[in-house]
Every structure is written in structure tokens, then in C-alpha cells.
Amino acid sequence: MFIINEENSQTTVIHQHLKIMKTVFRLIAAAGLFILASCTTPLREITYLNNLQIQDSVIQTHRVTPYQIRPNDNLYINVISDNPKASAFLNLAQPDQIYTSDAAIELITYIVDSNGNIVLPYIGKVHAADKTVDKLQTELQDKVNTMLANSSVLVKLVNRTVTVLGDVNRPGQYTMRKNNMTVFEALGLAGDLNDYGNRKKVQLIRKNGDEEQVTTIDLTNADLLASNNYSIQPNDVIYIPPKHRVFGAKTLPFTTLFTTISTAVLLYTAFSK
């Protein structure tokens, strides 16, 4: 009789352990599913221009508005002629000098003052703000023609940069190597968005007169291609805000998962004693 009771007691303990183990495994499974569900993102939210039809081949983009010079812009202005010595008096840079450092380049460029003016040797004060580079170049060419024959005026905007901040792989300030750049090209310079970047709420900060204009753009919407925000202007700032994490090998919260498993094991050990 004693042996039978002992066997029944052992059987009861085994059943209790199995019941506890099943409960623990259910908790682990539920926690894992919750973590995975909270870390995943619908594919449409991370795919650029996801509403673009496959049969679409030609899309009319917004016409690029030429950049207008603003106060604090740096302008490189150089007068070229058949005789470099004859045009040297109109230039800050001398033909026999090489300028490579940022400090040296600043010495040979004109900074647009707060009133929008620059002052050139022998030409005097010229209003540059609110004009395109091409228009300013044409106006300076007309002035130089009265002083020097067979000459050409070259005007370049030196501070052509775009700043990309937030959840990108390489945030920073980048030089615009060409006159027209799209928002996707600017993000490409920064190594694209990382897994945490919110592609639907990208903020574009652009100088508009004395104000800073902040516009929210959606990279997943093909309508962006026809927007005036598709093209980036010099000195624009692009900010990528964060969002919930995206499921992936890099973003799976292994620490949280291991902590959950460890806690479950400890609970099992405590209740099994």
C-alpha cells in the first residue's frame, strides 16, 4: 500500500512539472510572438514609391526652380581673358596661385552680406541676392565688357551643400556635385535610411526668405516625383525621424528575448521545487 501511494505521488509530481513546463513554453511562445509582431513593419511602409504602377515608364516631374542667391552665400567670381595679367586686377585669385584649403578658398570668394550685396574690385557694389547664378553672371559680364575686351565672367556658388540628419547610415553635411539633385540622391550620399527611419514623415527644412520652411514628405508615395520638394536646393536640411523598429537580423531585440526566456526558466525552477 505504501509503494502504491509513493508511485501515485511521483506520478502527480511529474504531471505538475509537465503542466508547469507547458505553461512556461506557452509564455515564451507568446512573448516571442509579441516581440516579433512589435518589430515588424508592413512592406509598403519601407518601399519607396510603393504606389507606382509597374506599367508606368514616364513620369512628369516638377520643373526645377533655379536657386536664388541669399545672404551669407559664398560666390566664386573669376574673370578670364586672352591676357591673364590684363584681367588680374578684377580677380581675388591670382593665376599663379593654387588654393586648396577651406581658409584659402574663403579668401578668394565673395560673401553676400546681410543686404544681399557683394563688392568687386573696380566694379564696386553689386546686388546679388534674389538672383540666379546665371543672371548675376550675365550682369557682371556686361559690366566687365566696358572695362576689358575679349573676356568671360565665371560665377559659381561655393556653398552648395545638403545636410542629412536622423536615422540614416551616414548622417552629415555633403557637397552637391551638380546643380540639380533629387531627395533620393541626397539620401544616397548619406547611405540611405537605416532600419529605424520613418520613410513616411521625412522633414525637409528649406530657407525661404527670413523664415525656415519645414515640409513633411512621404518617400513611399509616388506623388513625390511631381512635387517641388523632389528636387533639393543648396543648404537644404533633410531630417529622418525614428519610428518603431523593423524586424531583421540587425534589429531583433535578442536581449529582450533572452531575458524573457531566462525569467521563464527561473519561474519554472522556483515552482518545481
The pLDDT of residue 40: 55
Residue 133's φ and ψ, nearest 5 degrees, are -60, -40
Q: Which amino acid is at 176?
A: M
pLDDT value of position 47: 79
- Which residues share a beta bridge with 162? 174
The grid cell for 170 is: 551616414
Residue type present at position 88: A
User: Grid coordinates representing 1?
Assistant: 500500500
Q: What is the pLDDT of residue 9?
A: 63
Q: What SS3 class is residue 179?
A: coil
| Contact (CB, 8 A) for 82 and 150 | yes
**Domains within the chain, CATH numbers bracketed:** 2-40+250-272 (no CATH), 48-65+160-240 (3.10.560.10), 74-157 (3.30.1950.10)
90 strand-pairing partners? none
Q: What sign for the dihedral angle of Cα 229, 235, 241, 247?
A: positive
Q: How far is CA 199 from the centre of its chain?
A: 11
**pLDDT for the residue 2:** 44
| CA separation for the pair 162, 173 (Å, rounded) | 6
Q: What is the pLDDT, as a whole number, of residue 126?
A: 97
Q: Give, for 76, the enclosing helix (H) or strand (E).
A: strand 74-81
Q: What number of other Cβ atoms are within 10 A of residue 231's Cβ? A: 19
**CA dist., res. 168 & res. 190, Å (int):** 6
How many CB atoms are located within 10 Å of the residue 258 CB?
10
Cβ contact 197:203 at 8 Å: no
- Which amino acid is located at 265 in the chain? V
Q: Could you give the residue ranges of the DSSP H alpha helices within the chain?
A: 2-39, 84-87, 102-107, 133-145, 183-189, 254-272
pLDDT in 10s for each residue of the chain, 273 residues: 444 455 556 666 566 666 666 666 666 666 565 555 555 566 666 778 777 766 555 666 777 888 999 999 999 999 999 888 888 889 887 766 665 666 667 788 999 999 999 999 999 999 999 999 999 999 999 999 999 988 999 999 998 999 999 999 999 999 998 888 999 999 999 999 998 899 999 999 998 878 899 999 999 998 898 888 999 999 999 999 998 655 554 555 556 556 666 666 565 565 555
Q: How far apart are CA 94 and CA 37, in angstroms?
A: 65
